Structures are given as structure tokens and as C-alpha cells.
Structure 1
């Protein structure tokens, strides 16, 4: 049979057959006197096996080797290797699904658990993402996330955020000082075990925090430095 017939019977394209030849996973048949290659049913079976093996997770090179000699020890090793790789992928995908489920349940899709804990409003999200990244390797950050997600503290933080949002040019110095002391006490209690950020990191955070604030809010933020 010619290459077009082989491709049609195998359910692939002629380009695929030629690619298999180039990859040396499918032997090329000799040419006949008219210049055309003459494929046999063995080539058809080989193509079908290669397709089945690649669909099972083998690389094209592994599939070609297995199709060429399915009874060798090398074949068993290749299959074992693929099985281990598939098991690892399944485990990784399972973990991803679990993270996604937790994110959906906590209404923080697209955020890590720590970033979700650090954000109270949509405007907090960029800052929370950056802070979670800067502290991602610190063992205390998960404990901080646990504390910030505790309902009673969460309620207090939301109340504090509302007080902060209400600050404008009419806010008195005493109001700012009272809120400054309250925020400072919270920061000391819950971030005291975290190492200080570098000057460059602090400036990045400050740039994000101050981006949408009025002057009086910026003044309060800078009092925390």
C-alpha cells in the first residue's frame, strides 16, 4: 500500500507517517521500481501501536522502542517509568484540584491561602499577593494566616478597615493617632515574629498600599513605619 492508504487506514495524516520516519520510530519500507514506497500491514500495525502507546503517556521515542520489541526488559522499564510519571502527574493534579476547592470555598480563587488571609478588600489584593510572596518561605506566615482567618479577629480587622476607609481631610489628628496605635498593636501582636522587609521590599509595599489613598490615609500609613 502507498503512504496515503496507510495514513487513511491508521486514521492519521501523511505528515504524521513522515514524522514517524524522521523520528526513527517507524522503519521506512524500500521503494519499488516506480519510486513509491510499498507499505505492508506490519507498518499499519506499528503505527496503530505507536498511537496507542503515546495515548497511554509514552513519549514518541519510548513508543517506537516498545512497538519494535514489546517483550524486552527495556520495554518493562519504559512502561514503569511512564507509570511513575503518570502517577506523579495524577498526584499533582489532585493537589491542584484540592487547592482550587479550598480557594472556591474561601472565595479567594487566584490567591494563595496566605494572600487571601492578608486581604480584606479588593484593593488589598495586590499588596497581599506581594506580601505572601515575600514571606512564602517563612514558617510563621502560615500561623499568621491561621490567625487572620479566625472569625473573631477577622471581624475586628474588617471594622478597622472600615475606620481606615472613612479617614479623609476632615479626620482629626486625635482620630489618626487613636487608629495608629490600634493598628500598631495589631501589627506587633501578629507580625512580631516575621523578619523585617528590606528597604527595597518595604518601598514596593508602600507604593502598592498608597496608590489609592488620600493624603490623610497616607499619613496614617507612614506612621506605622
Structure 2
């Protein structure tokens, strides 16, 4: 029995172009040709093609199919590595499905920061943007804490700062800073690493600092930055004031 390229492709459940690609890679030998120049494939060609397709379905890269299919000493290690890669891919897909379910459940934008779906509707465009940047600067533990902070932030201060115009007057800036400071102070108490985040960085301290500065200056207006700066100073001073008031020095 002899088959043409098209007939072989149909039998194997693949395409003519795929077979030609396997020929170019050297995975499938070129068959003999008929008197009219057309290729003629036999049973062994079909079996070889089906073996290649089987390995490809398992996820073996085409560049490794020859080695893995030969069943050499390196085959078990190659399969274990492939299994680990598949497990990681499955985990990513499961995480994507979980995130999609949360996006649909909470009716939030599809590009909301991962894990922040439940609070995405309360995040300003600037806050959402900087959280996206944080995902590249901080490790998973830090991001988990940031999610908890965002979920606990139900005070109207956030929306007031979001709506703050760049020419806000001095009294408004100071009022908002004093209102925000206790929240920041509590965060510093609950999450001590905020005072020294080096151990939670996924990039170098220099890259993190430069990226943070650029992001804040780009995403927030002058008045908002001023309020955040004032509130940060007040928040860091509060523990010292409390210690002095208690006579702890």
C-alpha cells in the first residue's frame, strides 16, 4: 500500500504542510517517489509520523523529538523537565481561570491588577497603574500585604486624594495629610517591612527607587504628591512621639 502526502496527512490527522516541515527538520525521512515524481509513503512512514505526532502532543519540542523518540539515557530527564514545565503551565492557566472568575464576579476591568479584583472598582486609574508597577518591584508576600491594605482601605480619604486638583490650597493639603497619616501609621505597625522593604524587593533597590519615583511623578499631580509626602512624614514621626509620651525615650 502506498499513500500520497495528502493521503498520509489525512490518515495521521495532520496537514501536508506539517509533514513537509517534519521532512525539513529531518524527523521524517523523504520517501521514494513514483515514476511520475510523486512521493509514496508506506506503513513505516505512517508509523513514524504517528510517533512524532504522539511526542508532539505530549509537548516534546520538535528539536528534542529525535532524541526522546530514540529512548536514550537522557529521555527520562527530558520527560521530567517537560512534566515540570507542563505543571507550571497548568498552574498559570488555573490562576488565569481563577482571575477571570473574579473579574466576571466583580464586574471589573479585565486588566485590573491580579488579586485586586475585589477592590478594583475603588481604585483610581493612578492607583491601579502603580499597583501594576508594584507587581514587578515586590515579591508575592509583599503584594499579598498590599492587597490586604487595599481591602481595608474603606475610608473616603482615598477618593478625596484622587479628586485633589494640582492647585489645591495649603489648608486642604494639610487636612488630607493629617487624615491619611493615621492610616499609614497603622500600616507601618501591621506591616513593619514597609519601613525597610529591601527583603521584599524583586528588583535591585536602585531600580525600585528610580522606578517608584518616576511612576509617582508621572501618575500623580503635584498636590497629591505633596499630601502623600506630608502624610508619610507624619506617619513615621507618630511612633517616636508615642514612645516619648510613654517615657520610652
TM over 0.5: yes
Work out which structure has the larger RCO, using CA pairs closer than 8 Å and 6 or more positions apart in sequence: 2
Say yes or no: does 1:178 pair with 2:189.
no
Contact 2:164/2:224 (8 A) holds in 1? no
SS at match of 1:155: coil
TM-score by length of structure 1 reads 0.66
Please report how far the alpha carbon of residue 39 of structure 1 lies from its aligned counterpart in structure 2 after TM superposition.
2.2
Q: Structure 1: which 5+ residue stretches go unaligned?
A: 211-217
Could you list the per-position Cα deviations for residues 92-140 of structure 1 after superposition, in whole angstroms to 9, with x for gaps in the alignment? 323333444455556575303369769833333223333x246514955
Could you list the per-position Cα deviations for residues 9-31 of structure 1 after superposition, in whole angstroms to 9, with x for gaps in the alignment? 43433332222222111122344
Q: 1:112 maps to what in 2?
A: 114
Q: Give the number of equivalent residue pairs.
A: 210
Contact 1:115/1:129 (8 A) holds in 2? no
Contact 1:111/1:129 (8 A) holds in 2? yes
Shift in CA distance, 202/120, structure 1 to aligned 2, threshold 3 Å: farther
Please report how far the alpha carbon of residue 205 of structure 1 lies from its aligned counterpart in structure 2 after TM superposition.
0.5
What aligned pairs does 1:37-186 form with structure 2 within 5 A after superposition?
37-64=39-66, 69=70, 78-102=78-102, 107=108, 109=110, 110-113=112-115, 120-123=122-125, 124-130=127-133, 132-133=134-135, 135-137=137-139, 140=142, 142-150=144-152, 154-156=153-155, 159-164=156-161, 173-186=170-183
TM-score by length of structure 2 reads 0.61
Shift in CA distance, 75/27, structure 1 to aligned 2, threshold 3 Å: farther
Shift in CA distance, 33/135, structure 1 to aligned 2, threshold 3 Å: closer
Report the Cα distance in structure 1 between the residues aligned to 2:92 and 2:149, rounded to whole angstroms.
Answer: 28
Please report how far the alpha carbon of residue 59 of structure 1 lies from its aligned counterpart in structure 2 after TM superposition.
2.5
Say yes or no: does 1:208 pair with 2:211.
no
Shift in CA distance, 94/173, structure 1 to aligned 2, threshold 3 Å: closer
Q: Structure 2: which 5+ residue stretches go unaligned?
A: 198-207, 230-249
Of 220, 223, 226, the match for 1:222: 226
Larger mean Cα displacement after TM superposition, 138-147 or 175-184 = 138-147
Please report how far the alpha carbon of residue 220 of structure 1 lies from its aligned counterpart in structure 2 after TM superposition.
5.7
Report the Cα distance in structure 2 between the residues aligned to 1:41 and 1:144, rounded to whole angstroms.
Answer: 61
Shift in CA distance, 206/188, structure 1 to aligned 2, threshold 3 Å: farther
